[in-house]
Chains A and B, each alone.
Chain A
């Protein structure tokens, strides 16, 4: 990205003008107590300036506050340049030079991350000082007292500075537990709808669509029902210039045990949640908050799964066995009109070595269904003004400190270095690294503090980035949010749902049977884990007042 290089060159010049006081390989201390940190050539030799306040009181030119400490951090394996794990590799040498500590990065595939973390914690092995966790693991992490609260460190002024105040409530809630901080700011996950702006605004397609469906293509799509029509219209047409094969209306990542369930979770909210103040029948999605009876097989959920199945017919058949990377690749090659997924897709689309859709990718908060199940009236209601529902679906992968760590301060310091505003902002603007935007300073003015130039300099297309950041801002700040499940055994509840959804999407079960089986199995899990205990945790998680 030439723009990025220009930005870096500018930053380097500024750094030289400021006058280096002490230059190390990765850290160049400044006279004002701040430092310019320099990443390796693998990360385009990027340079980021941190002020003395950003660095915290422990760090300084003559200080090695964690000299001799050896920490091991566990993360999901995407490799040294991949998503989530990449930034750890990028900032490890910087941290080692700043702190005197050494950092060992342990990698496991995402499908094994939960097992690795909890085997270590349950057996008391203490192999890992810190873990990158998904927020859905908090029920189990907190239940076992496996991770340390971090507020005292964060507020001490000793460590690299960052704040929960930059987070929207939706994200803050999943980084904390009962008002206490446990997670260090990093990734912000949620699913939005990506669409091919160039195709939806194409006059020929617009005219043909109107002739076939009787209304203009809404750009962006305003309801899930319209989205389905548009996907149906484009499916089978060869709209990319790269091959002679017909293309698809949509592409989904549906592989079982590889985050396939998240599509359904996100999409079902507008079908299944009855609007209104939280009550036994309103604002609830997972369980009845008075007795933990599963709601997952409610008529709204079933209709959502029927919709998803219907929509999936406009995608490639193979998507049932596709994980994120395969579906993203298909979309980036320009072979599908829609993909609803995480914040990784738009940054990936800017990389023209792997994307054909730079400058063509639109983003919007996921449209809502115009029909939802009303639990009060026990009937489907069709509305002219569907509620757009936000979500923090996914892991929002971030660092935590193990209660078994012998070097918790050093571990926290490593995570917090990457949470500082300059680094967190750099991670959001600079290419794809799995760390997706969600914080004030990453959104564009006037809702945020970021400037368009920051993103343009990093190589973003102007319209792409404007829509992308606006979509995520709206998503994370939506009035109605998909409730995030964070109770003990969430992994098992999810796994049961995931298997049954996959069975439905592959045709082995009907949507009704799949969700009935899910509900029955969830009842067994709840009974085994203790219904009263689970009920109490669920009520706390959703803010139930009784």
Chain B
């Protein structure tokens, strides 16, 4: 059978529709919203109609008059008021937003540094023969399967200062602004270090044995082998993991929502959480879209830099 262009297009159609509906449309819609103040109102018309019984006859009151019921006809009207760059201008004067950017930057910077380092160290540790390695490896990756909200609530009980399992430390895990941010980062590290570990381990095991044996002939230094052989070979994997984790960490929401609700004050309020609250708590949809686009821009800049780095490595 010849694959005509129309058949090919037909098979492509689901993917095109998917991208249009679930990627392009939300992006376009939120971009449009970012340049507007969006308000909506519901116009309701209510009509009194006779209440009918199962046989379709009017239900009567004791005085013989029909019992009425209400039928509602409603129409929601959304008003879009163009405000140009007004919502984006607010970004520069909004102290809460600046705080959220700082919180997100610390969360991503510290969290990723620890996750990558720890993940690599654990991968190196588990990339050698040791008793119970398979069992330990399985246990190691369990946190990945927990939903972040569940992890947040789990750690809420662990960090509970009055009688929680870590209460004896005397550390104000959730009541101090600084420690609360540390707590959120710890949960993220707990959940995502296994992911880094798993991918790094796979990359390590993909390094040809001959290469390692040849390196051993040249030097006895493990550090030298790691720095000159292992690290360069793993670099594409490291950058990919960094990229994936960066994009994911920048969107942190669930842990914050379940563990600290952004507090104390706004000490753990991330950009995503702020955008959510601005849009769905205060219904300031235009400004929430502007915040979301700022987040997107930040992610895009870093991702572009990382992609360039990947290209350089492969070149």
Contacts and interface: CB of A to CB of B under 8 A. Distances in A.
A58 B91 CA distance: 57
B42 A508 contact: no
Interface string B107-150: 00000000000000000000000000000000000000000000
Contact of A115 (B40, B42, B264, B281): B281
A275 interface: no
Contact of A507 (B71, B75, B177): B177
Given A118-B283, A330-B162, A506-B177, A321 B72 contact: no
A511 to B, nearest CB: 13
A409 interface: yes
Nearest to A120: B42
A492 B76 CA distance: 23
A144 B41 contact: yes
B176 A123 contact: no
Contacts of A508: 177, 264-265, 267
A499 B95 CA distance: 12
A77 to B, nearest CB: 14
A321 B172 CA distance: 9
Given A119-B280, A126-B72, A404-B74, A318 B261 contact: no
A119 B276 CA distance: 13
B45 to A, nearest CB: 10
B74 A506 contact: no
A258 B72 CA distance: 35
A299 B177 CA distance: 26
Nearest to A504: B265
A122 B40 contact: yes
A476 B198 CA distance: 62
Contacts of A123: 40, 42, 76
A255 interface: yes
A326 to B, nearest CB: 7
Contact of B70 (A317, A406, A499, A517): A406
A258 B282 contact: no
A495 B265 contact: no
A503 B40 contact: no
B282 A491 contact: yes
A376 B284 CA distance: 37
B259 to A, nearest CB: 10
A435 interface: no
Interface in B33-54: 40-42, 44, 46, 53-54
A13 interface: no
Contact of B175 (A65, A121, A146, A317): A317
A318 B175 contact: yes
A396 interface: no
Contacts of B277: 495
Contacts of A499: 96, 262-263, 265-266
Nearest to B177: A508
Interface string B281-297: 11110000000000000
A364 B10 CA distance: 75
A57 B180 CA distance: 57
B174 interface: yes
A255 B175 CA distance: 9
B262 A256 contact: yes
Nearest to A119: B280
B254 interface: no
Interface in A101-122: 111, 114-115, 118-119, 121-122
A296 B161 CA distance: 32
Contacts of A256: 261-265
Given A317-B172, A495-B282, A507-B176, A500 B265 contact: yes
A491 B183 CA distance: 28
Interface string A257-270: 11000000000000
B67 interface: yes
A255 B263 contact: yes
Interface band, chain B: 35 or more
A260 B219 CA distance: 63
A407 B264 contact: no
A22 B15 CA distance: 64
A68 B53 CA distance: 9
A505 interface: yes
Interface in A483-527: 489, 491-492, 495, 499-500, 502-509, 517, 521
Interface string B245-280: 000000000000000111111110000000001001
Interface residues of A, number: 54
B69 interface: yes
A321 B161 contact: yes
A408 B41 CA distance: 20
Contacts of B44: 145, 403-404
A509 B95 CA distance: 13
Interface in B171-188: 172, 174-177, 180
A434 interface: no
Contact of B161 (A317, A405, A409, A500): A317
B283 to A, nearest CB: 7
A316 B162 contact: yes
Contacts of A114: 281
A499 B176 CA distance: 14
Nearest to B261: A257
Interface in A241-284: 255-258
Nearest to B156: A321
A320 B69 contact: no
A357 to B, nearest CB: 17
A119 to B, nearest CB: 7
Contacts of A122: 40-42, 76, 283
Contacts of B280: 115, 119
Contacts of A321: 161, 174-175, 180, 260, 263-264
Contacts of B162: 316, 318, 326, 330
A80 B71 CA distance: 31
A503 B283 contact: no
B292 to A, nearest CB: 17
A318 B161 contact: yes
Nearest to A525: B282
A298 interface: no
Nearest to A320: B175
A160 to B, nearest CB: 17
Interface in B61-86: 62, 67, 69-72, 74-76
Contact of A502 (B41, B54, B95, B263): B263
Contacts of B40: 122-123
Contacts of A507: 176-177
A314 to B, nearest CB: 15
Across chains A and B, which 8 residue pairs bring their CB atoms closest together, nearest first? A503-B265, A256-B263, A124-B76, A506-B264, A318-B161, A320-B175, A321-B174, A124-B42
Given A123-B42, A495-B281, A499-B96, 8 more contacts: A57-B62, A69-B69, A316-B161, A317-B175, A403-B42, A506-B175, A506-B267, A508-B265
Interface of A: 57, 65, 67-69, 111, 114-115, 118-119, 121-124, 126, 144-146, 255-258, 316-321, 326, 330, 403-409, 489, 491-492, 495, 499-500, 502-509, 517, 521, 528
19 contacts: A57-B62, A111-B261, A118-B283, A124-B74, A144-B42, A257-B263, A316-B162, A320-B172, A321-B161, A321-B174, A321-B180, A403-B44, A404-B42, A407-B69, A407-B70, A408-B70, A499-B96, A504-B265, A505-B264
